[in-house]
């Protein structure tokens, strides 16, 4: 057993997470970095971003102040910290003793027929319907034409951060990105263990450093913007 194995307490959970975080380099986690670091290992905000949770949520977890982390959050943290089977069992023993809640079902989002009929009836206005993680669930023909340069147009955040077409499409792409991340943070705050949000934030954090930086910040609501 490792020398840094802590007792099964909230304080022990923080010690365990810090020890595992500090032994991983940014390169190990799939991140690129150019600046010299004062301390080895990943930062808290990087673990949070890769796990798909807010920095403040992960800080509470590491400080032992998050009393009911879900299985999905723990699974995401275990994935980011690259824990082996024994360490995963230890993480669950420290963070989720018997009697805590189990996995909640994944949210299934469907477009109601009357909403589909409504946007299809708009023949002079592009219209689309998005889900809680900004997945594009339905579009009308004009919206398909509007987003023709995006391949594909399946999620607003993926389009903004991963598709080069966004820079020419949006009048202010930086503002659009800030607003989209702020909206996703609101969704994540209300459902921190949502599997779709965890998956999306993990993907974008690995593939785009700008998203990772924005996600690590705490946001106030930004005003609406036009294209």
- Same domain? 88 vs 156: no
pLDDT tens figures, 30-80: 776 656 677 678 888 888 888 878 788 888 888 877 767 878 788 888 888
Query: Is residue 27 within 8 Å of residue 37, measured between CB atoms?
Result: no
For the whole prediction, is pTM greater than 0.85?
no
Extract the tokens encoding 211.
């998203």
Query: pLDDT exceeding 90 applies to what percent of the chain?
Result: 33
CATH of residue 43: 1.10.260.40
Per-residue three-class SS string for 23-57: CCCCCCCCCCCCCCCCCCCCCHHHHHHHHCCCHHH
Q: Which domain covers residue 53, as residue numbers?
A: 10-95
Asked if pLDDT for residue 161 goes beyond 90, the answer is: yes
Extract the tokens encoding 82.
């690259």
pLDDT tens figures, 163-189: 999 999 999 999 999 999 999 988 887
pLDDT tens figures, 183-219: 998 888 777 778 888 888 888 887 888 888 888 765 4
Measure CA 169 to chain center: 24
In a domain, 191, yes or no: yes
Number of domains composing the chain: 2
In a domain, 85, yes or no: yes
Q: Of 106, 78, 105, 76, which is closest to residue 205 (Cα–Cα)? A: 76
């Amino acid at each position: 057993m490792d020398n840094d194995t802590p007792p099964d307490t909230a304080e022990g959970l923080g010690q365990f997470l810090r020890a595992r975080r500090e032994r991983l380099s940014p390169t190990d986690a799939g991140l690129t970095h150019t600046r010299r670091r004062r301390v080895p290992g990943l930062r808290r905000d990087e673990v949070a971003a890769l796990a798909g949770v807010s920095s403040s949520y992960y800080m509470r977890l590491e400080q032992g102040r998050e009393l009911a982390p879900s299985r999905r959050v723990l699974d995401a943290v275990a994935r980011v910290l690259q824990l082996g089977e024994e360490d995963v069992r230890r993480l669950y023993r420290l963070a989720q003793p018997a009697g805590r809640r189990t996995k909640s079902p994944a949210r299934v989002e469907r477009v109601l027929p009357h909403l589909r009929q409504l946007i299809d009836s708009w023949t002079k206005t592009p219209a689309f319907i998005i889900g809680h993680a900004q997945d594009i669930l339905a579009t009308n023909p004009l919206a398909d034409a509007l987003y023709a340069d995006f391949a594909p147009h399946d999620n607003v955040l993926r389009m903004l951060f991963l598709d080069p077409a966004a820079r020419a499409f949006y009048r202010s792409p930086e503002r659009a990105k800030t607003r989209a991340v702020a909206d996703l943070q609101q969704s994540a705050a209300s459902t921190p263990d949502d599997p779709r949000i965890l998956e999306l934030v993990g993907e974008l954090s690995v593939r785009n450093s700008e998203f990772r930086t924005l996600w690590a910040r705490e946001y106030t609501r930004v005003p609406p913007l036009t294209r």
